[in-house]
Structures are given as C-alpha cells and as structure tokens.
Amino acid sequence: MNLENLQEKIDTIIISNASTENKLQTICDFLESEISYYDWVGFYFKNGDKNELKLAQYTGEETEHTIIPFGKGICGQVAVSNENFIVQDVSEQDNYISCGWKVKSEIVIPIFVNGENIGQIDIDSHTANTFSEKDTALLEYVCRKLSRIL
C-alpha cells in the first residue's frame, strides 16, 4: 500500500466540484478498487438527534444494517467510544453484527467535525488479520479530510 499515492487521490476527490454525496461514493469506490482486501467500504452518520447511525454511501454487497443503534456492533461501539476499532477476527467479538458469512475482519474509524463524532468509515474484509497501521493511517487521513467538507 502506497499511502502517499492513495492520499493524493483522496485529496483530488475531496477538492473536486462534485457534491458531498458523490465525493463520499467516489471514496468508497476508490478504496474498494485500490485495496484488494477492502471488500465493503461505507459511511455511517449520526441519524439526526437519534442515538443511532444511518447508512450513507457504500460499495460492496447490500446490507440489511442500514440503521445501527449506538453501542451495538462495531460501528455502534465507535459511535459511543469515539475511538478507532479494529477487529482482526470478527468471530472473537461478542458484540459483532454479522453483515455476511464472508466477513472475517473489520475496521471502523470515526469522523469528527468540531470535536463531535458525526459518523464513521467502515471497512469489512473477507480476510482475517488483514488490517495494519497503514490502514489506520490511511483511513484517519480520509476522515480528517472529510471533516473539512461535512
């Protein structure tokens, strides 16, 4: 994974004249196509004043998890903890919401705007033990850049 090249492409997407929704979708499509073990890439955002997340743009298989209560699953836990969450083997998590039998690992990074956790990027992989510090660095970069346009 060449972080510098990936970050440059993210910058190009962010500064484009596209709508925010199109930028989010383009980021999903780009990450899924560029990183072989990113099998599902999506964004969840806080659903108004409710203590739940709502699925926004994503790339990958359809999911029935379009609404996730705070505290439930990996995404719901990140909404409460405000911290990155990496699960190298989802079968070892008690509070995991299965998005499909193929998913073996997951990484979720929160997006902060003015210090508030407004959403997150969620990546599922069909490969266990696949996420590294480079993935964390890339996705934190994506979230920092997005925080400027959200």
Task: Give the C-alpha distances (Å, rounded to integers) separating 23 from 47, 72, 140.
Answer: 20, 28, 17
pLDDT tens readout for residues 94-129: 888 777 779 999 999 999 999 999 999 999 999 999
Tokens of 72: 């439930």
3-state secondary structure of 40: strand
Phi, psi of 2 (to 5 degrees): -95, 95
Q: Answer whether 17's CB lies under 8 Å from 148's CB.
A: no
Alpha helices, DSSP H, located in 35-132 = 73-81
User: Would you state the CATH architecture of domain 3-147?
Assistant: 2-Layer Sandwich (3.30)
pLDDT tens readout for residues 37-77: 999 999 999 999 999 999 999 999 999 999 999 999 999 99
Tokens of 31: 């990450």
Question: What does pTM read for this prediction?
Answer: 0.96
